[in-house]
Structure 1
Amino acid sequence: MPPPNTPEPTAPEPKRRIRAVHTAATVTVYQAYSPGIGLPAARRYADEWTVSITDLTPLVRRIHGHLRAGEPEAARRLLPEERPYPVAGGLPPHLGG
């Protein structure tokens, strides 16, 4: 018998795995890429594309507290301002442009 907390042996990483989760109204498909593709993309995302990460937990808890107390306007005042994302050349036709 192996010692406690010994990780299970792992199978070789498949080239890709596809998993789908569905409800009555939606289907979400997840695809895992091989480490040769996924790891460089993850490193680039983490190192080059991430500008900042902000923990919104305290704010979300305050908003939730107001909602539970029946104070939707107080909760709404805590929401960040929504700003349109600038799109060069305007929106494409399928998005109403």
Structure 2
Amino acid sequence: MQQQHGIRADFDATTITLYQAYAPAVAEPALAAQRFVPPFSFGRMTWIKPSFAWLMHRSNWARKPGQERVLAVRITRAGWEEALRRAVLTTADPAELSRAEVHVQWDPERSLRGAALNHYSIQVGVGRTLIRTFAEEWITGITDLTPQARKIAALVQGGRAAQAQRLLPPERPYPLPGPIAARLGMDR
């Protein structure tokens, strides 16, 4: 049975892949450096998502202005879990949320065609106080998935959803420690 609020991600023993979409001016230097560097903004929250389909919905399959490049950002699981340990749900008390280093919200997961599904995907906002740690310590690699995203979109638009589905990055339930999962409203 599918969890209503659960993290589904591509991960291994030490890392997890998160997805972000940027303009080429931000993506190119990040790919070259294998971490975020200027003109990436270290002065504002950055949102990371373990759901490829949700990011495709958000970026309109890498066609939304300013989100034309889809990046797979691999970070340490220790960093991911540290961010979630510091997280506060966006539905929390506004004063608590304003002090939080990390924000978490749950949004409906999306199908390949963008329809809202009956379970939720986590979105994690890394705040200004942790951005440099995220960029300089947690990231282990960045891959450009733009060609893959565009190929999947073309297959879906061409009525070949089954073929497109096979090109999606693998995602499975992420085993988050119980106390963190409970704080984030995850199903147990």
Alignment of 1:41 with 2:130, yes or no, is yes
User: Higher Cα Rg: structure 1 or 2?
Assistant: 1
SS in 2 for 1:52: strand
The structure 1 residue matched to 2:170, chosen from 78, 81, 92, is 81
The aligned runs of 1:7-86 (5 Å cut-off) are 38=128, 41-86=130-175
State TM-score, norm by structure 2.
0.28
Q: CA deviation at 1:73?
A: 0.6
Percentage of pairs with the same residue: 39
* 1:70-89 Cα shifts (integer Å, max 9, x gaps): 11111111111112112123
Distance of 2:166 and 2:143 partners within structure 1: 19
Q: Note closer, same or farther for the CA distance 1:52–1:71 as it changes in structure 2 (3 Å cut).
A: same
Distance of 2:186 and 2:134 partners within structure 1: 27
Write 1 or 2 for the structure with the bigger share of strand: 2
Q: CA deviation at 1:54?
A: 1.4
Distance of 2:150 and 2:137 partners within structure 1: 31
What is the alpha-carbon root mean square deviation over aligned residues?
Answer: 2.9
Q: Which has the higher contact order (CA 8 A, sep 6+)?
A: 2
Distance of 1:92 and 1:56 partners within structure 2: 32
| Number of the residue aligned with 1:92 | 182
State TM-score, norm by structure 1.
0.51
Distance of 1:63 and 1:87 partners within structure 2: 29
Distance of 1:77 and 1:64 partners within structure 2: 12
Q: Note closer, same or farther for the CA distance 1:52–1:68 as it changes in structure 2 (3 Å cut).
A: same
Q: Note closer, same or farther for the CA distance 1:96–1:44 as it changes in structure 2 (3 Å cut).
A: closer
